[in-house]
Amino acid sequence: MEVLCPICHKKLFLQGKQACCENRHSFDIAKEGYLNFNRHSASSGDAKELIDARRSFLQRGYYAFLKDEIVSLTEKYQPEVLCDLACGEGYYTKEMKADKKFGIDLSRQALRYASKTDKSTFYLLTSIFELPFPDESLDMVTTIFAPLADKEIARVLKKGGLFLYVRPNERHLYELKEILYERVRENEIRDIPIEGMEKVKEYAVSSRPLIDHDGLLDLFHMTPYGVKTGREGREKLENTSEKGVSLDFLISIYQKL
Ligand SMILES: [Zn+2]
């Protein structure tokens, strides 16, 4: 399996602490083990507060049922080469089953943690909209709560390869929104066709755990609500000791034609 130079698209070779192509473009491998394609800006990707809240929330296990479902799909389809797009700290990536795994994210902080704690995956710091892989070279791509890089996904998947797309479903976080806002609606779910791919399966996985105060605050800070909620909503959340909250996800499986 090849990783390509993001500049000239020639194959990269490992040379000590760097990856280089035949045109002498070189990229650093961080001491934690991830390959850094982002040579310019010092920071990119999710904000630290969001990453910390997400890690804390995930460690409490509320999303374990979703992770189990995703892992079971990788066990069922047994991909040879898999790439998890916008993998964050590798919470899902780490346990996915594949002969060769890649994880891509733009956050240095998240990838430091991911590559320290998961030696089964090769992590790459780069944009999910410019994947450093040859055409038709991957058996499976996953995207969990992240923007859809549909053109790149369709390009890098082998014919018959699968794309697992996980996004919030209608009831996701409904009760959290009830704390934060006067009027609450269910999330609108639309069908998403992807050119060159066929949707072969779509289903929901849901749970409604009782989430404690600290868990609610983490959830608040890891979602867009942490940015867009006013003072009143924040105060109500501060005064909530626990709440049953719907965790509702839609899993769509696409196959490359
Ligand atoms: Zn190059």
Mean pLDDT by 10 residues, the chain (257 residues): 92 93 95 88 73 92 97 98 97 98 94 96 96 98 96 98 98 96 94 97 98 96 86 94 98 98
Distance, CA 256 to ligand 1 centroid (Å)?
A: 28
Q: For 56, phi and psi rounded to 5 degrees? A: -60, -45
Residues with CB under 5 A from ligand 1 (ion): 5, 7-8, 21, 23, 25
Distance, CA 10 to ligand 1 centroid (Å)?
A: 6
Question: What pLDDT is attached to residue 44?
Answer: 67
User: CA 137 → CA 58, 90, 141, 158, 166, distances in Å?
Assistant: 31, 22, 11, 5, 22
Pairwise CA distance, residues 73 & 79, whole Å: 10
Pairwise CA distance, residues 169 & 250, whole Å: 5
Pairwise CA distance, residues 231 & 221, whole Å: 14
Pairing status of strand 18-20 against strand 26-28? antiparallel
Distance, CA 93 to ligand 1 centroid (Å)?
A: 28
Residue 171's CB: how many other CB atoms inside 10 A? Answer: 17
Distance, CA 8 to ligand 1 centroid (Å)?
A: 4
Instruction: Report residue 12 as tokens.
Output: 């990269």
Helices (H) and strands (E) in the chain, counts: 8, 13
Angle (CA) 183-203-90 rounded to 5° is 85
Distance, CA 140 to ligand 1 centroid (Å)?
A: 25
Sheet holding 13-15, edge to edge: 13-15, 18-20, 26-28
Question: What pLDDT is attached to residue 39?
Answer: 67
Q: Top-level CATH class of 13-256?
A: alpha beta
Query: Strand runs (DSSP E) across 31-182, as ranges?
Result: 35-36, 81-85, 100-105, 122-125, 138-144, 157-168
Question: What pLDDT is attached to residue 56?
Answer: 94
Question: What pLDDT is attached to residue 122?
Answer: 97
Question: What pLDDT is attached to residue 19?
Answer: 95
Residue 253's CB: how many other CB atoms inside 10 A? Answer: 17
Distance, CA 207 to ligand 1 centroid (Å)?
A: 47
Label residues 30-39 b or e (16+ Cβ within 10 Å = b): beebbbbbbe
Question: What pLDDT is attached to residue 181?
Answer: 93
Question: What pLDDT is attached to residue 43?
Answer: 63
Amino acid (one-letter) located at 3: V
Pairwise CA distance, residues 150 & 77, whole Å: 21
User: CA 255 → CA 45, 117, 142, 163, distances in Å?
Assistant: 28, 31, 12, 6
